[in-house]
């Protein structure tokens, strides 16, 4: 079987061995997504190798069975977008009815590839506060990632450009320009080809399961970009219903006045509100009544309302000068209301008569 090659999907692979280190062939392996319970059934080859390809990011459970050995279950394997996760499993001799449960390591050293990357997980996406609620702000948590200055209104995150309303990309990765980074959502190209610094779609935070930033030395399968890859994995439904209702408020009533506004507060009314809902697709008494089918949905709607002002300062010529009286100008000499010349050259004095 050949699986579709999508850049954001990952894989769990490894080798099945016994206590002596010998390969265990023809072992039955089941890889299960713990949220959706979608299963992938595999069999180890003659060298004990197995590989579950084209897996979506998430938490997985791997079960290995082989006659003459105890059943082994490895739980809570966290797979990031585009990651190839190695999981070697050692079987113990014993009855099949005996089960060995193994918890995956919370922190692992990347040994499967030489790529330099950082992952922003679902817990961080849900709990870290962001001015403007633009997911790109979380990218600054990854070493080597900075925010470049871009155009746009200062409300909602400054260089994050009003929380992504215009879709401009501010991230500079490894010191390169922001136009050299490629963005994808679930493996689909998400860049404006006109300038390479705008996203076609700016995913809202409540739709993102997690995202991964590949900084350098990554696989050639990604291509396109000369700098880095930002892989966004969207949420999907699960066996149970989950949802949220939210409203994020910014208001000048709880803000300090601008330093340059002479004590007058700049007006600001900003509301970011919406809902998210996901779960199994079920029609009572007709379809999926036991929620055991692999049909899910996830929907998010978000609205943004912003009413804001700005403080602008500038220099103005004094009223006397606007009326033609330059006697108070520091560029005139002691002769009053007339220009001072260098008598020898009959020219304006440098630095004196330049208005």
- Quick one: 121 and 222 in the same domain? yes
CA-based Rg of the chain, rounded to a whole angstrom?
Answer: 31
CATH code, 150? 2.170.130.10
- Quick one: 216 and 260 in the same domain? no
pLDDT score of 37: 86
pLDDT at 58 over 60: yes
- Quick one: 186 and 269 in the same domain? no
| pLDDT tens for each residue of 307-316 | 888 777 777 7
pLDDT at 128 over 90: no
Q: Evaluate whether 278 touches 241 at the Cβ level (below 8 Å).
A: yes
User: Residue 259: which pLDDT band, with cuts at 50, 70 and 90?
Assistant: confident
Helix ranges (DSSP H) in 39-135: 122-127
Q: Which of 234, 253, 281 is the last residue of a domain?
A: 234
In a domain, 255, yes or no: yes
- Quick one: 278 and 299 in the same domain? yes
- Quick one: 128 and 146 in the same domain? yes
pLDDT at 324 over 60: yes
d(CA 50, CA 108): 20
pLDDT at 334 over 70: no
pLDDT at 253 over 90: no
User: Residue 17: which pLDDT band, with cuts at 50, 70 and 90?
Assistant: very high
Mean pLDDT within 112-138? 82
User: Residue 111: which pLDDT band, with cuts at 50, 70 and 90?
Assistant: low
| pLDDT tens for each residue of 89-100 | 999 888 766 667
Q: Which of these, 96, 98, 84, 76, lies nearest to 27 by C-alpha position?
A: 96
pLDDT score of 155: 31
Q: Evaluate whether 78 touches 107 at the Cβ level (below 8 Å).
A: no
Name residues whose C-beta falls within 8 Å of residue 282's C-beta, 6 or more positions apart in sequence.
288, 289, 291
User: Residue 160: which pLDDT band, with cuts at 50, 70 and 90?
Assistant: very low
**181-220 in b/e burial notation, b at 16+ Cβ within 10 A?**
bbbbbbbeebbeeeebbbbeebbbbbbbbbbbbbbeebee
pLDDT at 118 over 60: yes
pLDDT at 157 over 50: no
In a domain, 109, yes or no: no
Q: Evaluate whether 186 touches 170 at the Cβ level (below 8 Å).
A: no
- Quick one: 297 and 341 in the same domain? no
The three-class DSSP label of residue 127 is helix
- Quick one: 217 and 154 in the same domain? yes
| pLDDT tens for each residue of 24-54 | 999 999 999 988 888 999 999 999 999 999 8
Q: Evaluate whether 236 touches 276 at the Cβ level (below 8 Å).
A: no
In a domain, 29, yes or no: yes
d(CA 181, CA 163): 19
In a domain, 5, yes or no: no
pLDDT at 85 over 80: yes
- The token duo for 296 is 């899910």
Number of domains in the chain: 4
Q: Which of 234, 267, 299 is the last residue of a domain?
A: 234
Q: What is the pTM of this model?
A: 0.68
pLDDT score of 154: 35
In a domain, 147, yes or no: yes
pLDDT score of 125: 87
Highest-scoring range by mean pLDDT, 67-76, 130-139, 172-181, 286-295: 67-76
pLDDT score of 96: 60
- Quick one: 136 and 196 in the same domain? yes
Q: Which of these, 248, 247, 228, lies nearest to 169 by C-alpha position?
A: 228
pLDDT score of 103: 66
Domain with 350 in it: 317-355
pLDDT score of 270: 86
User: Residue 279: which pLDDT band, with cuts at 50, 70 and 90?
Assistant: very high
- Quick one: 19 and 42 in the same domain? yes
Cα angle 261, 262, 264; round to 5: 65
In a domain, 24, yes or no: yes
- Quick one: 125 and 219 in the same domain? yes
In a domain, 218, yes or no: yes
The three-class DSSP label of residue 138 is helix
In a domain, 111, yes or no: no
Percent of the chain with pLDDT over 70: 80
Q: Which of 204, 234, 264 is the last residue of a domain?
A: 234
For 95, phi then psi, to 5°, come to: -70, 145
- Quick one: 247 and 293 in the same domain? yes
- Quick one: 223 and 156 in the same domain? yes
């Amino acid at each position: 079987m050949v699986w579709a090659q999508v850049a954001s999907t990952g894989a769990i692979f490894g080798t099945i061995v016994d206590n002596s280190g010998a390969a265990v062939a023809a072992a039955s392996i089941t890889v299960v997504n713990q949220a959706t319970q979608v299963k992938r059934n595999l069999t180890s080859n003659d060298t004990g190798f197995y590989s579950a390809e084209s897996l979506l990011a998430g938490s997985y459970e791997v079960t290995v069975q082989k006659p003459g050995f105890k059943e082994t279950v490895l739980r809570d394997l966290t797979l990031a977008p585009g990651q190839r996760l190695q999981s070697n499993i050692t079987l113990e001799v014993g009855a099949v009815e005996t089960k060995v449960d193994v918890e995956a390591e919370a922190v692992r050293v990347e040994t499967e590839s030489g790529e330099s990357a950082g992952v922003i997980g679902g817990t961080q996406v849900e709990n870290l506060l962001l001015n403007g609620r633009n997911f790109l702000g979380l990218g600054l948590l990854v070493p080597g990632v900075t925010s470049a200055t871009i155009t746009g209104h200062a409300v909602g995150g400054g260089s994050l450009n009003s929380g992504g309303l215009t879709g401009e990309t501010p991230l500079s990765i490894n010191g390169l320009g922001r136009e050299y980074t490629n963005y994808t959502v679930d493996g689909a190209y998400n860049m404006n080809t006109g300038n390479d610094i705008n996203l076609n779609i700016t995913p809202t935070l409540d739709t993102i399961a997690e995202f991964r930033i590949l900084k350098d030395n990554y696989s050639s399968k990604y291509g396109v970009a000369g700098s880095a890859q930002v892989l966004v994995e969207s949420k999907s439904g699960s066996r149970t219903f989950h949802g949220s209702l939210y409203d994020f408020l910014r208001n000048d009533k709880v803000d300090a006045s601008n330093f340059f506004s002479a004590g007058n507060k700049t007006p600001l009314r900003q509301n970011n509100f919406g809902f998210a809902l996901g779960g199994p697709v079920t029609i009572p008494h007709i379809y999926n009544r036991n929620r055991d089918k692999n049909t899910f949905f996830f929907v998010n709607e978000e609205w943004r309302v912003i009413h804001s002002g700005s403080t602008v300062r500038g220099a103005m010529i004094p009223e006397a000068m606007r009326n033609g009286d330059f006697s108070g100008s520091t560029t005139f000499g002691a002769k009053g209301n007339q220009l001072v010349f260098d008598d020898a050259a009959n020219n304006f004095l440098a630095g004196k008569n330049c208005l």
